[in-house]
Amino acid sequence: MIASIQKAIAELQPQLVEWRRHLHTHPELSFHETNTVRFVVQQLREEGIEVRDGVGKLTPDSPGTGAIALVKGTRSASAKCFAIRADLDALPIQEVGGRDYGSSVPGVMHACGHDAHTTMVLGAGIALHRLRAQWSGTVMLVFQPGEEKEPGGASLLIKEGVFSDPKPSGILGQHVTPELPMGKLGFRAGPFMAAADELYVTVKGKGGHAGSPHLLIDPVVIAANVILSLQQIVSRRNMPGRSMVLSFGKVIANGATNIVPDEVRMEGTLRTFDEPWRAELHELLPRMAKGICEGSGATVDFTIVKGSPVVVCDPELTTRLRAIAVELVGADNVVDMDLRMGAEDFAYYTHVMPGGFVRLGTGNPAKPETTSGLHRPEFDIDEDALQLGATMMALGALSELTR
- The secondary structure of 124-166 as a DSSP string is HHHHHHHTGGG-EEEEEEEEES-TTSTT-HHHHHHHTTTTSSS
Do residue 187 and residue 248 come from a single domain?
A: no
Per this entry, what is the length of the chain? 403
pLDDT for position 161: 97
Do residue 171 and residue 240 come from a single domain?
A: no
| Predicted confidence (pLDDT) at residue 2 exceeds the cutoff of 90 | no
DSSP-based three-state secondary structure for 367: coil
Do residue 202 and residue 161 come from a single domain?
A: no
Do residue 381 and residue 266 come from a single domain?
A: no
Do residue 113 and residue 223 come from a single domain?
A: no
Once rounded to an integer, what is the mean pLDDT over residues 45-70?
96
Domain assignment of residue 382, given as a range: 2-193+310-401
Do residue 127 and residue 70 come from a single domain?
A: yes
Angle at alpha carbon of residue 387, lines to 103 and 42, rounded to 5°: 60
| Predicted confidence (pLDDT) at residue 1 exceeds the cutoff of 90 | no
DSSP-based three-state secondary structure for 372: coil
Q: Angle at which helices 315-329 and 385-401 pack, to 10 degrees?
A: 130
Instruction: List Cβ neighbours of 232 (8 Å cut-off, separation of 6 or more).
Output: none
Do residue 205 and residue 72 come from a single domain?
A: no
Reported as a pLDDT band with limits 50, 70 and 90, residue 403 is: confident
| Domain final position from 268, 287, 306 | 306
Tell me phi and psi for residue 383, to 5 degrees: -70, -10
| Domain final position from 290, 306, 322 | 306
Number of structural domains in the chain: 2
pLDDT tens-digit profile of 322-350?
999 999 999 999 999 999 999 999 999 99
Reported as a pLDDT band with limits 50, 70 and 90, residue 41 is: very high
- Following CA atoms 116, 117, 119, 121 in sequence, which dihedral angle do they give, to the nearest 10 degrees? 160
Q: Whole-number mean pLDDT of the chain?
A: 97
pLDDT for position 250: 97
Do residue 43 and residue 171 come from a single domain?
A: yes
Known catalytic residues? 89, 147
- Distance from C-alpha of 189 to C-alpha of 356, rounded to nearest angstrom: 8
pLDDT for position 279: 97
**CA-to-CA separations, 171 to 31, 66, 119, 355, 372, in angstroms, rounded:** 22, 17, 17, 5, 29
Do residue 27 and residue 77 come from a single domain?
A: yes
pLDDT for position 46: 97
| Predicted confidence (pLDDT) at residue 73 exceeds the cutoff of 90 | yes
Proportion of the chain in helix, strand, coil states, percent, rounded to 5:
35, 30, 35
- Distance from C-alpha of 182 to C-alpha of 324, rounded to nearest angstrom: 17
Do residue 169 and residue 48 come from a single domain?
A: yes
Do residue 83 and residue 206 come from a single domain?
A: no
* CATH for 236: 3.30.70.360
Do residue 293 and residue 279 come from a single domain?
A: yes
- Distance from C-alpha of 136 to C-alpha of 209, rounded to nearest angstrom: 75
pLDDT tens-digit profile of 118-163?
999 999 999 999 999 999 999 999 999 999 999 999 999 999 999 9
Closest CA to 121 of 314, 403, 402, 397: 397
| Predicted confidence (pLDDT) at residue 299 exceeds the cutoff of 90 | yes
pLDDT tens-digit profile of 230-249?
999 999 999 999 999 999 99
| Domain final position from 254, 275, 306 | 306
* CATH for 66: 3.40.630.10
| Predicted confidence (pLDDT) at residue 182 exceeds the cutoff of 90 | yes
